[in-house]
Amino acid sequence: MNVDTLVIVTSLIGALAGAVSFLFRQLIITKNKRINELLDERDYWRGIVAKEHNMPDYEDWYQQQHRLPSGRETYLQQDEP
């Protein structure tokens, strides 16, 4: 195998590896965009249902359901301003 053939083969392998990594990256970017679109749509419909049925805000409900027992609040780290 002479040098020219070796250069051509390694160039082709490098080009294929670059193309595969580019396509994989594009796949990940597209997937993340679609997930964000679905989250926005979910939040939209959740808001409509909550308004129609006078349901409480999910965040308020979650905080009430996951309250710490009294005396445990001091274990949480407080952010210094």
Distance CA 42, CA 9 (A): 49
Q: How confident is the model at residue 50 (pLDDT cuts 50, 70, 90)?
A: confident
* Torsion angle defined by CA atoms of residues 38, 41, 42 and 44, in that order, rounded to the nearest 10 degrees: 160
How many C-beta atoms surround the C-beta of residue 58 within 10 A?
A: 12
Q: Note the pLDDT of residue 75.
A: 53
Q: What is the pTM of this model?
A: 0.51
- List the chain domain ranges: 28-58
Where is pLDDT greater, at 24 or 76? 24
